[in-house]
Chains A and B, each alone.
Chain A
Amino acid sequence: MPYLDQYTTVLTTKTAAHLLRRATFGPTQSEITNFTGLTAAQAVQQLISNANYSPPPPVDLDSTKATAGQTYLDKPFNGDRNFDFGHYLRYWWLGLMTSQTTPPSLLDKLTLFWQNHFVTTREVVDDYRFVNQYLVLLRTNALGNFRTLVTKISKEPAMLRYLNGNENEVGKPNENYARELQELFTVGAVDFAGNKNYTEDDVKAAARVLTGWKYTNYWVVGSTSFATTFTLSKHDTANKIFSAKYSNTVITGRSTNPSATVTAGDAELDDLVSMLLAHPQTPRFICRKLYRWYVNPNVTQAIEDNVIIPLAQFLSSPTNNYAIQPVLVKLLTSQIFFDESNRGAIVKSPVELAVGAMRFFNQPVPNMTTDYAAFKTYFDFMFWRMRDMQMALVDQPSVFGYEPYYETGYSKIWLNTTTIALRSDYTDAYIWRWLQVKPDYKMGIDLLAWATSLQANFSDVTGTATISCVDVQAAFAKNLFATDLFPSQVDFLIDTIMMQGIPRSSWTFEWNAYRSAPTNTSKKNAVLYRLQNLMKYMLRMAEYHIF
């Protein structure tokens, strides 16, 4: 069984689509075409270099306000608009995920991985500037260095607030961050065999290392900046002793700041991060989570031994020193990533379903700055639907992240009797087209135009061969599913769903009748009804919900 060896076969339509489905929020047809013929290494390199690190900043999306369409992060803190401005950050981010004007990039899918790893939420942080700076930190460092990310996130105002780091003081520690830093962000609670990776006393010791950090200007209306501060008098300056799980490390308590730019807190935090990253389970914990995100939630002993452990060794090797990008490249260009057994091995999360469908069916994102009202309508629809499907962006139910990324069952948890119905309702909207994004833009698939595009010489009814219902089904299903349909399923879709039990030849008559009289409503509806039945059913199929 091949594992981390590089996948050298030139990408076919299927393998290119697989890479794009997993590394981004889902491809368009033309992106699949463009990536076909590349090597995996070339393709992943493109997905990295296409990243746009300076997208336009979020704007006020409330068209009833005088400031509609204007940026707000460069203005003093506005408490009256705090919820809106925090909420628009999510639309801004969804816009980056959905945008089709730039070539595809893996940056935002990876940023979401880190946001679901180093969780803070808009609801708890509740100062839009804090949330923004946190998202930007994750996005800027997503492909950077894990050591930097852990160090910076530990002092980030949003995190200090979310896990009460700002209330962690000498003599009266607040252990919340110290625990999650170990359990969720670095070493993990237990190793693959289930042995504990640290002790309760390690939680207490780490909390003492982290004493003294605070932030300024939280929710201070009119303030133009905010910052992380370190207060030496609130810091526990005694030595901190860790258990054998950390090789009995002692972190020397600093009672003075080593320099004008390096505080005692920084010096001890560096020691702490070094200790956490030297724990043999930390790289495995991170690599296992990346594997579950990108390849398959099901980590067997063979995968642990042949993928997770060697990838972890690479991540923490002295030459790599916790750089993220080389590890991601190795994983996304590996033979195991492209192994056929891993196709369709994950249930689409709500964001993969919602953004993926928008992209696949070419639903253009209105320009955020100039067309803010339409932009808001578009993402109101997506955001609230995703929330109902149990994925409120940047509002995870807890610091553990969304349940399907850690609970038994993993991605299966996205689907149950209720969410399956909500998902059907979401994809049905692409068929019924009731969402008016703006006067000339109805969200959804123009099925008639699509079928018409398949028909050569549309008006020449007698002179040009007619597309069959088989052709239509094949075109509509092209690249739609991660796995191949069985011939029996294709026949079922054509005969039972599209043709409703009447002979396939009837399609030819109906289609030609429509070609002859495209403005005749009943002739148009006769074919549209079949196209709607077909596409609606295919989007409701179990096969559409895995990738």
Chain B
Amino acid sequence: MKRRDFLTAASATILPVMLDGFGLKAMSRQSALVQSLVGTTALASDRVLVIVYLNGGNDGLNTVIPLDQYSLYNGLRSNIAIPQNAVLGLDGNPATGLHPAMTGMRDLYNNGKLSIVHSVSYPNPDQSHYRATDIWMTAVDSSQTSSSGWAGRYLENRFPGYPTGYPNTQMEDPLAIQIGYLTSTALLGSQQSMGIALSDPNSFYQLVGSASATSPGDLPCCDAGDLIAYIRKQQALSVGYASEIKSAADAGQNLATYPTAGQNSLADQLKIVARLIHGGLKTKIYFVSLGGFDTHSGQVDSGDVTVGSHAALLGKLSSAVATFQQDLKLQGIEDKVVGMTFSEFGRRANSNNSKGTDHGIAAPMFVFGSSLKHRTIGHNPDLANLTGQAGNKDVTMQIDFRRVYTDILNDWFGTQHTTTNALLFHEFPTVSLFSDTVESVATGNWKDPNVWTVGRVPFANEYVKVNAGHTMTIDKTISVKNIRLEGKLLFTGPYSIQMTG
């Protein structure tokens, strides 16, 4: 009996295939699958996360366009729909396309450096900018609140006691940097921000100046005392970090050609980030943002729907991210950095009469970097089965955003799973961002996208793992690269699993 035929069954029986190790094909310790499973925390010490906030609620349906349902798409928003022939196609993914302004991110996708995570949201979504942003930044259930941010909690766990005693020899650099003037809720620890705000590394050192004598530490009572202590700490940190930032900025170099300064604020911010990382700053998290996505009105030009304010924003996003990625590649540090975009909500599937879109629910996230293992997580929203009343349809959630955070904390930063679960208040299933293996998350039919970590049926070129306790029903012949079976398979007929790898 050939191994590949082993999984074929003539009748509907449950095959108790419980092989230890790595499935039915012997794998050496050097195989990609093994490496992907054991190597997740390698190099974790110098890994960097870049968070890109798209402020205002990005219109997901005009960003990632469901070409497989074009007429439904056009019917929902004929006054702003991107013409089918203008949508950018994606390699190996005819169902989905990108907005015509996003050539840079299209190339990243085609090169395997961009993951599209479809229809991201959370249960009981909120449509207030403030509250929704808060939920994304604090990573809570929509019925809960938290005064600290998800990234801030991670940093506080990793660097206990901050800011007392920082900078120090173990961590001489800022834990997090927000390019700009204010620090975001995402970076808040239990007491204060775990990050610092930096607008321009060149002028920062000069502006801060050298340390002056420190006033005695007496504090008055009450809120005034708290505020004074806080301000003194900010003063000390700015002085303490100024020279480290200056040396990193002096040592780092941008090797890619960015858009002209002042034309694309996100590119300007990412340019600084790339330079600081290249200069050796050990900062773990960078936070950058691009505003203007609250497109209630006039998101497309009246003459040409492929241009207009939303196209300009997506163009900035795309060229900024693509240039940044190119810079990292030229600097030789591409494998150290991963980036993610988020926006507080998507927009209504139906457009309004002002060539705009009102607040909605789910929308795609982008994750970018050379370490990503799947270009597509989830699938196009099903436009025939949207939430809400006719004329006011919303995109339904597929992927909880905290699953993406979970992968970043566990697999990118190498955090212990129990710690990650505590930081995010729940355990969330992986979306296999950094693992080339697609895993089952529940018992069910193989064809059901919801039973897989990646929120879709595994592709023929992907490794698959059926987890212990899960039974997958198979009612057609399936191709995968390889399968690791810890659970069970239930064949309903004369079908098989073909292994391609």
B119 at the interface (CB under 8 A from A): no
Q: Find chain A residues with CB under 8 A from B291 CB.
A: 397-398
Contact between chains at A343 and B183 (CB < 8 Å): no
Q: Contact check: which of B131, B231, B392 meets A347 at CB < 8 Å?
A: B231
> Which residues in chain B, 193-238, are within 8 Å of chain A measured between CB atoms?
193, 196-199, 204, 207-209, 212-213, 215-216, 218, 220-224, 227-232, 234-235, 237-238
Contact between chains at B218 and A486 (CB < 8 Å): yes
Contact between chains at B204 and A542 (CB < 8 Å): no
Query: Roughly how many angstroms separate A52 CA and B218 CA in the complex, as a whole number?
Result: 43
Write out, one digit per residue, whether chain A residues 392-436 have a CB within 8 A of any chain B CB (1) or not (0).
Answer: 000001111001001111011101111111101100000000000
Contact between chains at A542 and B213 (CB < 8 Å): no
A363 at the interface (CB under 8 A from B): no
Contact between chains at A345 and B182 (CB < 8 Å): no
Contact between chains at A418 and B131 (CB < 8 Å): no
Contact between chains at A421 and B204 (CB < 8 Å): yes
Q: A174-B352, A417-B241, A497-B213 are in contact. List 16 more A-B contacts (CB 8 A).
A: A164-B296, A173-B352, A174-B297, A176-B296, A179-B128, A344-B228, A345-B224, A346-B227, A347-B231, A411-B227, A415-B234, A416-B197, A417-B234, A417-B238, A537-B212, A540-B235
Among B32-40, B354-362, B375-383, which stretch is in contact with chain A? B354-362
B145 at the interface (CB under 8 A from A): yes
Chain B proximity of A303: nearest CB distance (Å): 12
Among A62-70, A312-320, A488-496, A502-510, which stretch is in contact with chain B? A488-496
A161: nearest residue on chain B (CB-CB)?
B297
Contact between chains at B228 and A489 (CB < 8 Å): no
Q: Find chain A residues with CB under 8 A from B208 CB.
A: 417, 421
B353 at the interface (CB under 8 A from A): yes
Residues of chain A at interface, number, CB under 8 A: 70
Contact between chains at A174 and B353 (CB < 8 Å): yes
Contact between chains at A546 and B128 (CB < 8 Å): no
B447 at the interface (CB under 8 A from A): no
A524 at the interface (CB under 8 A from B): no
A483 at the interface (CB under 8 A from B): yes
B481 at the interface (CB under 8 A from A): no
CB contact under 8 A between A169 and B353, given known A415-B231, A484-B220: yes
A200: nearest residue on chain B (CB-CB)?
B127
Interchain pairs with CB closer than 8 A, number: 172
B174: nearest residue on chain A (CB-CB)?
A417
Please give the residue numbers on chain A whose beta carbons come within 8 Å of chain B beta carbons, in ascending order: 163-164, 167, 169, 171-176, 179, 183, 189-190, 194, 200, 203-204, 296, 298, 340-347, 388-390, 397-400, 403, 406-409, 411-413, 415-422, 424-425, 482-484, 486, 488-489, 492-493, 496-497, 537, 540-543, 545-546
Contact between chains at A415 and B358 (CB < 8 Å): no
Q: What are 8 A-B interface contacts by the 8 Å CB criterion?
A: A172-B353, A175-B352, A179-B128, A179-B359, A341-B222, A344-B228, A482-B224, A486-B216
Q: Contact check: which of A164, A169, A407, A542 meets B228 at CB < 8 Å?
A: A542
Query: Roughly how many angstroms separate A388 CA and B296 CA in the complex, as a whole number?
Result: 28
Query: Roughly how many angstroms separate A179 CA and B216 CA in the complex, as a whole number?
Result: 49
B185 at the interface (CB under 8 A from A): yes
**CB-CB nearest 7 A-B residue pairs:** A344-B224, A172-B353, A167-B354, A542-B231, A417-B238, A345-B223, A486-B218
A190: nearest residue on chain B (CB-CB)?
B131
Chain A proximity of B235: nearest CB distance (Å): 6
Contact between chains at A492 and B216 (CB < 8 Å): yes
Chain A proximity of B321: nearest CB distance (Å): 22
Contact between chains at B230 and A417 (CB < 8 Å): no
Chain B proximity of A399: nearest CB distance (Å): 8
Query: Roughly how many angstroms separate A342 CA and B225 CA in the complex, as a whole number?
Result: 11
Q: Contact check: which of A174, A407, A415, A540 meets B296 at CB < 8 Å?
A: A174
Q: Find chain A residues with CB under 8 A from B231 CB.
A: 347, 415, 420, 542, 545-546
Q: Find chain A residues with CB under 8 A from B134 CB.
A: 408
Q: Find chain A residues with CB under 8 A from B130 CB.
A: 183, 189, 400, 406
B11 at the interface (CB under 8 A from A): no
Query: Roughly how many angstroms separate A184 CA and B197 CA in the complex, as a whole number?
Result: 27
Chain A proximity of B140: nearest CB distance (Å): 11
B433 at the interface (CB under 8 A from A): no
B336 at the interface (CB under 8 A from A): no
CB contact under 8 A between A418 and B197, given known A397-B291, A489-B216, A541-B215: yes
B355: nearest residue on chain A (CB-CB)?
A167
Query: Roughly how many angstroms separate A308 CA and B74 CA in the complex, as a whole number?
Result: 50
Contact between chains at A341 and B223 (CB < 8 Å): yes
Contact between chains at A542 and B232 (CB < 8 Å): yes
Chain B proximity of A309: nearest CB distance (Å): 21
Greatest chain B CB density within 10 A among A203, A403, A483, A537 is at: A483
> Which residues in chain B, 123-147, are within 8 Å of chain A measured between CB atoms?
127-131, 134, 145, 147
Contact between chains at B241 and A189 (CB < 8 Å): no
Chain B proximity of A320: nearest CB distance (Å): 29
Query: Roughly how many angstroms separate A411 CA and B185 CA in the complex, as a whole number?
Result: 14
Contact between chains at A421 and B224 (CB < 8 Å): no
Contact between chains at B197 and A417 (CB < 8 Å): yes
Query: Roughly how many angstroms separate A518 CA and B195 CA in the complex, as a whole number?
Result: 50
Query: Roughly how many angstroms separate A409 CA and B234 CA in the complex, as a whole number?
Result: 14
Chain A proximity of B378: nearest CB distance (Å): 24
Greatest chain B CB density within 10 A among A183, A417, A540, A546 is at: A417
